[in-house]
Amino acid sequence: MQKHDLADYVRILARGKNASRHMTMEEAHFTMSNMLQGNYRPEQLGAIFMLMRVLEESEQEIAGFAQAIAEQLPDLSDTDLLWPSYAGKRRQPFWCLLSALLLSSMGYRILFHGTEAHTAERVYLHQIFSHFDLPILENTSQIGQQPLAYLPVASIHPELQQWLLLKSVLGVRSPINSVLKTIAAPGVASVQGVFHPNYQGLHCGAARLAGHDALVIKGEGGEFEVNPERRCRAQYCFNGDDGEIIIDNDRSLFDDKPDDIGFQPLQDFWRGELISEYALQAVTRTAALALCSIKRSSDYSAALKECLSAWQQRDTTRL
C-alpha cells in the first residue's frame, strides 16, 4: 500500500516521548493545506488533532494552520478588523456586538467570523445577527459589501465547522478551536478572546510569526469582550512589537447586570431604554481595545475617550 502524503507528518507528532516534536510552521501549513483539499484519512485527522493536544499546540503549528485556512479568503484590504466569535455566551448578552456596531458607526469596517450553535444553553453570534437582520454572508465573495457582517466559518470551508464538532466524538476540544480564532489576513488587524489566560501568549506568538497584528484578552465567556468586574490584561502584537494594556476594574460587582442573555437587553441598551453601568463599561471598553488594534496603538485612554464620545452620538434607531 502506497504511503500517504501526510503519514510522515503524523509521525512527527507520534514518535514517542523522546522522539516526538512539534511541527514547524511550514510543516503545519502543508498539513492543513492537504486536509482542506480533502487529502487526508479520518484516522490521520483524529491523530493529528489529538497528538497536538497532548503535546500542547505550538505557536508555529497554530500560525501554519491559520495561514493555510486564511488562503481560502479573498482580498480583505477593505476590512479594518477581523473579529472571531466561537465560544458563545451563557452568562451575559453579546455586549461585544454593540461594541462592533459602535465602531461601524465610527466608519470602521468589521468582519466577524464564527461557528454555528453547537452547545446547549449558549447563545451564538450568528443567532444575534439573524434576530436583528444584520448581514450574514453566504460565501466569501460577499466580503466587503457591508460595513458590519458575519461570516460563518463553514462559508470559509465546510470542513471547518465539522471539525469544530469533533469534541462530541473525541471528548475534548481540538486545536482547531484556537486555530480558527487566529485566522488573519495581510494588513488587517484582529482581536481575539480566549477563556484560558495561558493561551494569550500562544495567540500573540502565532500572530507575530505570521506577521499579523492582533490583540488578545481573556474575554467574558471566551469571547472578545471585556468583563468590567475583572482586571483585564490585553496582550498585543502590533507591527512585530509585543506589549500589554491593563484595564483595572472599578468595582468587583455590578448590581445592574441583566439576567437575560438573549436579544432584548442589547436592543434596549443601544436605544437608551435600559440603564446599566456594567453594559456601558463592557461595550465601550471592548470597543476601545478593538480600536487600539485597528490603529495599532497602545493608547487605550485616547481610544476609550473616542468611543465614549461616539456612544453619546450614536444613532439609537440602528438596532
**Spans of the chain below 70 pLDDT:** none
pLDDT of residue 224: 98
pLDDT of residue 226: 98
Q: Are 160 and 69 in contact (CB under 8 A)?
A: yes
- CATH classification code of 81-312: 3.40.1030.10
Pick the CATH number of 7-70 from 3.30.1490.190, 1.20.970.10, 3.30.70.940, 3.40.120.10: 1.20.970.10
Q: Are 224 and 99 in contact (CB under 8 A)?
A: no
pLDDT of residue 167: 87
Could you tell me the residue ranges of all domains in the chain?
Answer: 7-70, 81-312
Q: Which residues of 61-75 are buried (b: 16+ CB within 10 A; e: fewer)?
A: bbbbbbbbbbeebee
Measured between its terminal Cα atoms, the distance across the chain in Å is 60
**Which residue type does 181 have?**
K
pLDDT of residue 2: 87
pTM equals 0.95
Distance, CA of 204 to CA of 210 (rounded, Å): 10
H/E stretch holding 203 = helix 199-210
Q: Are 108 and 81 in contact (CB under 8 A)?
A: yes
Distance, CA of 119 to CA of 89 (rounded, Å): 10
Per-residue H/E/C for 34-74:
HHHCCCCCHHHHHHHHHHHHHHCCCHHHHHHHHHHHHCCCC
The SS3 call for residue 159 is helix
In the block, which residue shows the cell 473616542? 306
Q: Are 233 and 258 in contact (CB under 8 A)?
A: no
pLDDT of residue 138: 94
Distance, CA of 83 to CA of 215 (rounded, Å): 10
